[in-house]
Structure 1
Amino acid sequence: MRPEEITAALRAFDASIAAGTANSWPALQELARTLLGAKLFTVMTVDVRQRLSRREYTSDPRNYPVSGTRPIHHDRWFDVVHTGRKTFVANTLADIATVFADYETIGALGCGSVLNIPVIVAGELLGTVNCLDVEHHYTEQRVTRSHLLEIPAKLAFLAAGC
């Protein structure tokens, strides 16, 4: 991806947020798809004190609807995202299956890699931005580029009142 393409994508996101006419999630989804690619895009919020998470936004409401809360599980994914506050990457469906019980649904959608970006504001984990695509999609280059989503994700969460 050329620098001018990245700049154009960031400007489009900024214009959408500045206009205030649309929900911040579709603008973030479009930015993620442009910068990284994402067949499936979701946003999860977390309530660390209550130990609950909630799907706040989805690009596929039929297979991954916005839902009620569910308990946070302590596993390898939790250690990376919640404890380490780092981006989690799994590039095969077999690796995804070790942390996500819905791996069969993920695979049925043609996805086999996942990238989960933690969103942290004022020292608090607000949630994650989740991009899924075909196996081996989230290369080292795309993972590095995913850092460009961190500030827009914070803005989207704050604009959405999360």
Structure 2
Amino acid sequence: MNLSAVEEEARREIGVRLFTVLAWLPGRRVLHRAHTSHPDQYPIGGEKSVEIAADWLDRCINRQQPFFGPDAESVRQVFADHALIAELGCGSVINVPVIGADGATLGTLALLDAEHAYGPAQVERAVELAALAAPALAELVQRLDDNQEDS
């Protein structure tokens, strides 16, 4: 399933105002934007060095556990771009790791919607959707790694 199809499933089954997929590139310790519902604000190919809260990185990337922020305050505490997130009408976030067949973290799905739009059932479904994104994200991570080696 391609990442656009995963986004459509997320819209249909969970609801999103903002949806992004970030590829984790451990050799460079960056998150590379692989897919986005808002390319003007969050362009494909954009990268974030790990300026994200260390707790978030440890939780989603290292321990492979979802992060759930039910309200705007939890978004503000974790994301440097919280003002833009709020401008887009988002105040609730679910981040789930995308795990490859080898057990390594390939990246994350980020689903954002209005404050208090999500609960435990939506987090659980997002975890299931992350598994559907794994093959497409694995292919992208491999291409990015290959390009890095070529440069």
TM tier relative to shorter chain:
0.7 to 0.9
Offset at 1:160? 4.6
TM-score by structure 1 length? 0.79
Matched, 1:32 2:24: no
Offset at 1:148? 2.2
Matched, 1:61 2:35: no
Structure 1 gap segments, 5+ residues each: 1-16, 18-23
* Aligned sequence identity (%): 35
Structure 2 gap segments, 5+ residues each: 143-151
Question: C-alpha separation between the residues in 1 aligned to 2:30 and 2:140?
Answer: 18
Q: Please report the RMSD computed on the Cα atoms of aligned residues, expressed in angstroms.
A: 1.7
Question: C-alpha separation between the residues in 2 aligned to 1:105 and 1:71?
Answer: 18
1:144 corresponds, among 114, 119, 124, to: 124
Report the count of equivalent residues: 140
Matches within 5 A, 1:11-160: 17=1, 24-73=2-51, 75-121=54-100, 122-158=102-138, 160=140
**Aligned residue for 1:12?**
none
Question: C-alpha separation between the residues in 2 aligned to 1:136 and 1:46?
Answer: 28
Question: C-alpha separation between the residues in 2 aligned to 1:139 and 1:145?
Answer: 10
Question: C-alpha separation between the residues in 1 aligned to 2:25 and 2:140?
Answer: 15
SS at match of 1:98: helix
CA contact (8 A) 1:35 1:146 kept: no
Larger Rg: 1
CA contact (8 A) 1:96 1:113 kept: yes
